[in-house]
């Protein structure tokens, strides 16, 4: 099975492990388990509206593949925007300022609270976007507001009503935790903690789906590449379900990552986890 990492979960690897990943110890497969490759996947994205690139956080191979996907999409005729789980809506202003060259990198990293993992995980994506004029979407809801929602026990509509107009603007307009396969997988993973945390996980999915869908509505010529923990997009669930509910006309593709031990052959439990599955050590 894919080991997913949600917004509140711990990194799959320590920084030390991520730094020593052998980039050759990986393989691509299609959703049925047939050998595939990155070039053919990128070529298939030329006119895909929304791409979810699900990562195992801070994994060296995943970081390289994400950058290659962004570079490949940027080289195609249709423009691309980069959406990031790891930037929250209240960080959009300093993110835009940095991309425009209005603030320097230390100021940007301080204002957006980048940690030590940023240097080798997501910095290459942001720097490529900056050099090439690619819009970047701070796709997630602010963590303090999500935590307050979870702890309130209120319905999302009732919680929104308690917020200031400024804070409401940072949150998705709607969020109803779905009773679907994503929920079943989440509950199985989280055990007895599942019911308490599921509304927050569903809210994160809605936040990333809505911010991406809103950008597409405003910029229909652009495609959106969302970099996100794999748990949020595996099997076209989570963010993908909520995105397609908002924009059913859009085409969608998913790249999933899965850890594997032993020979680098397809693990049947990863079937249908993505349109392409990147197995890694």
Is the per-residue pLDDT at 24 higher than 70? no
Contacts of 75 (CB under 8 A, 6+ apart): none
The answer to whether residue 173 sits within a structural domain is: yes
pTM, entire model: 0.91
The pLDDT value recorded for residue 134 is 99
Domain CATH number, residue 111:
3.40.50.11550
Q: What is the mean pLDDT of the chain?
A: 92
Gap between the Cα atoms of 233 and 239, Å rounded: 6
pLDDT digits (tens, 9 = 90+) for 158-208: 999 999 999 999 999 999 999 999 999 999 999 999 999 999 999 999 999
The answer to whether residue 8 sits within a structural domain is: no
The answer to whether residue 2 sits within a structural domain is: no
Domain range enclosing 138? 15-280
The pLDDT value recorded for residue 10 is 30
The answer to whether residue 50 sits within a structural domain is: yes
Percent of the chain with pLDDT over 90: 89
Structural domain count, the chain: 1
What mean pLDDT do residues 227-241 have? 98
The pLDDT value recorded for residue 262 is 84
Is the per-residue pLDDT at 2 higher than 60? no
Is the per-residue pLDDT at 127 higher than 50? yes
Q: Given the structure tokens 């809210």, which residue do they identify?
A: 203
Helix (H) or strand (E) holding 243: helix 239-246
Contact 203/149 with Cβ under 8 angstroms?
Answer: yes
Across the chain, the runs of DSSP E, i.e. the strands, are: 26-30, 35-36, 50-55, 80-88, 136-140, 223-229, 252-259, 276-280
């Amino acid at each position: 099975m894919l080991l997913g990492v949600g917004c509140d979960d711990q990194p799959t690897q320590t920084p030390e492990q991520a730094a020593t990943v052998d980039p050759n110890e990986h393989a691509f497969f299609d959703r049925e388990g047939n050998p595939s490759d990155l070039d053919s996947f990128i070529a298939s994205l030329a006119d895909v509206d929304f791409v979810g690139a699900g990562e195992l956080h801070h994994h060296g191979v995943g970081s390289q593949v994400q950058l290659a996907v962004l570079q490949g999409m940027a080289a195609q005729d249709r423009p691309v925007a980069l959406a990031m789980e790891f930037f929250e809506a209240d960080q959009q202003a300093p993110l835009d300022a940095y991309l425009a060259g209005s603030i320097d990198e230390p100021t940007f990293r301080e204002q957006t609270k980048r940690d030590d993992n940023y240097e080798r995980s997501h910095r290459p994506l942001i720097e490529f976007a900056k050099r090439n004029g690619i819009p970047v979407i701070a796709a997630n809801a602010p963590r303090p507001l999500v935590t307050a929602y979870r702890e309130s026990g209120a319905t999302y509509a009732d919680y929104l009503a308690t917020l200031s107009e400024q804070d409401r603007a940072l949150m998705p307009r709607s969020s109803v935790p779905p009773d679907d396969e994503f929920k079943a997988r989440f509950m199985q993973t989280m055990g007895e903690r599942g019911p308490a945390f599921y509304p927050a996980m569903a809210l994160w999915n809605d936040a990333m789906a809505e911010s991406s869908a809103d950008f597409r509505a405003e910029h229909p010529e652009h495609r959106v590449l969302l970099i996100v923990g794999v748990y949020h997009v595996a099997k076209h669930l989570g963010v993908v379900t909520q995105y397609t509910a908002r924009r059913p006309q859009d085409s969608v593709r998913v790249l999933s990552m899965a850890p594997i031990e032993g020979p680098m052959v397809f693990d049947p439990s990863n079937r249908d986890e993505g349109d392409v599955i990147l197995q890694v050590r």
